[in-house]
Structure 1
């Protein structure tokens, strides 16, 4: 039986070592193998010289600026086409790892309560079909016939959007070995992508756009809008009662309950007081089942994005395992932001483009409630 083995090209090995060394300089906690350790003390320009030497390019006699230009302009593919061996691609590889690290370290608060949908295969409109509960079972007498029932459905439609920006890494930055500036640039992309996702999801609450039935997400007709209801136990109780009474598409009982209390930063302390497990009631009237450990406990979610819309408006959401609320999705194969690089004709250096494909949509009003003071 023939044993298959994978042979790694020497250039690929050195490429990986250089990537490790750059990433380790930017983030000391990053893993550094023996392969990367040999490049640990190299500056960007020294790595660039090593890179060109690796491809048989003579760099003897080049001054620092000329060397930087040669590194950035080098193309190893046929006809000068950019390939994965280019130094720009090496930096893009490092940038992606560093950016995704920053992106992952700063998840938006929306992930606590919104539901992640399956990745979208493309940018076409996606239709989310809402199915009602099964029709009520009817009594069947002896020798009687079973009758057919019908299931009702509704739908919400949305599609992915693409977001992005371009920044550049100049020849001067390479000569100056400005890895700190490079690091700040790529990590800022990660933070920016996380903020974008958060804003996009919370805009579903604050925009209060019309749903598939033509009625705003939060509306009296949807029985999920409370007015004159400052955040307090009494208002939370009224919201819970309203959500309990929500009916499905076939007028079936859903028996939902709030699982998350979503508040602006201005109501943070009040939200924590209402959900604290340390609260001890003095009388029966003061019993608060919204506290941690209570029979209808809610988890506080504090989001300062909401303050810009209203410092007194608050929301509640049921668990997405009970009912659809707001869902979000990515493009298949790109779960998060991606950095691409190319040499720029307009800028004396390398352009780096951050691209992010993301979408969010409120799917069902029944598991969401809004209260205004």
Structure 2
């Protein structure tokens, strides 16, 4: 039975246009005398009429209705499910760049300069009687970077807002805010990571900040990296104080790094076969792990799963990295286009007069640079 036949049948019943027995099964007309002589037929006829009346008035249960007619008879009525729900958004990534990069504030879009001086500090030299003392000169180095404006937004039509019975668009501003957080973390990651792992412009043999042989992450290689970082000296050979070390890894090394830190006892066999028990792991003191999710996206080679970095805590005098935001816009700013639609008689609507779209956007201003290569150590973990 088609939907057209069903609707036609109901309309004809309402209008009392014909006898109901002609509606179902092509029953032939019978004389009143014959009907009186067939009480079973009259009972069935009354049952059908009652069934149709209950369907029309909504008193018949839906499962009875489905038995009479399948959903294929009503492709429009049953096309959309009545059980609909909106999945929650993916959980945003917690930024970690503040743990190994210094945050700064700049005053404008002009290039900012950061100066580093050295040369005066050093051990005093013995001066003989009437001899000249050492006159030291100061050297300086400048670091420059500028901030840029980054934006994103969306526009929703009036019809889309009306049809949003699941409140799917309510969370869109929150998604924009998370986009700003993601952009910061990805930007800082690109300062020290390229598609092959440790950024080739900053991690070099000449800078003495790439471990020899690019060893995989292990207790021994981690110990070697921390030792090299702790032994850093300035231009005059003065030791540099390292207050804390951050181990930065991608997802591929997270469990390995955690296992090294959590190990509480090592058994070491020396050359004579004696077993030496080491309490503690020897590297956990002053070391913290930072899981950087963006390494997996920025390093596009196999090194993404094997590269690891060590950073001196940015609380020191000179950090490895600096990330700056524009003064007055330190936090991302959300904007909404001023509506230009007003009903006659009063009342504004938050939509464009021409397109009936509602527009929102987010703006964030930031920049940064690599500062001091001595404040970091890295290995791509390839073993070569």
Instruction: Pick the TM interval, shorter chain.
Output: 0.5 to 0.7
Verify the 8 A CA contact 1:243 1:255 in the aligned structure 2.
no
Q: Which residue of 2 aligns with 1:217?
A: 202
The match for 2:219 among 219, 226, 233 is 233
The match for 2:324 among 329, 332, 341 is 329
Q: Looking at CA atoms only, which structure, 1 or 2, has the larger radius of gyration?
A: 2
CA distance in 2, matches of 1:126, 1:230: 38
Cα deviation, residue 189, structure 1 = 0.3
Structure with a larger share of its residues in strand? 2
Structure 1 regions of 5+ residues with no counterpart? 1-101, 210-214
SS of the counterpart of 2:217?
Answer: coil
Q: Which residue of 2 aligns with 1:353?
A: 361
Q: Which residue of 1 aligns with 2:281?
A: 288
- Alignment root-mean-square deviation, CA: 2.8
Matched, 1:363 2:371: yes
Q: Which residue of 2 aligns with 1:200?
A: 187
Q: Which residue of 1 aligns with 2:64?
A: none
Structure 2 regions of 5+ residues with no counterpart? 1-88, 269-275, 340-351
CA distance in 2, matches of 1:112, 1:164: 25
Verify the 8 A CA contact 1:109 1:303 in the aligned structure 2.
yes
Quick one: structure 1 residues 112 and 179, their matched pair in 2 at CA, closer, same or farther if it must change by over 3 Å?
farther
Verify the 8 A CA contact 2:99 2:314 in the aligned structure 1.
no
Superposed, which structure 2 residues align to 1:1-373 within 5 Å?
Answer: 107-117=94-104, 119-132=105-118, 134-136=120-122, 137-142=124-129, 144-176=131-163, 180-207=167-194, 216-226=201-211, 227-254=213-240, 256=242, 259-276=245-262, 279-283=264-268, 284=276, 286=278, 288-291=281-284, 294=285, 297-308=286-297, 309=299, 310-322=304-316, 323-342=318-337, 343=339, 344=352, 347-373=355-381
CA distance in 1, matches of 2:361, 2:293: 28
Q: Which residue of 2 aligns with 1:10?
A: none
TM-score by length of 1: 0.63
Cα deviation, residue 282, structure 1 = 3.7
Q: Which residue of 1 aligns with 2:66?
A: none
CA deviation map 1:315-348 (0-9, x unaligned): 0001112331111111101112111222456642
CA deviation map 1:142-174 (0-9, x unaligned): 555544212222122111011111212432345
TM-score by length of 2: 0.61
Verify the 8 A CA contact 2:116 2:140 in the aligned structure 1.
yes
Cα deviation, residue 261, structure 1 = 0.6
- Further displaced range: 240-249 or 322-331: 240-249
Matched residues, number: 259
CA distance in 1, matches of 2:98, 2:146: 19
CA distance in 1, matches of 2:374, 2:195: 14
Quick one: structure 1 residues 125 and 337, their matched pair in 2 at CA, closer, same or farther if it must change by over 3 Å?
same
CA distance in 2, matches of 1:346, 1:153: 58
SS of the counterpart of 1:181?
Answer: coil
Quick one: structure 1 residues 347 and 362, their matched pair in 2 at CA, closer, same or farther if it must change by over 3 Å?
farther
SS of the counterpart of 1:269?
Answer: helix
Verify the 8 A CA contact 2:189 2:295 in the aligned structure 1.
yes
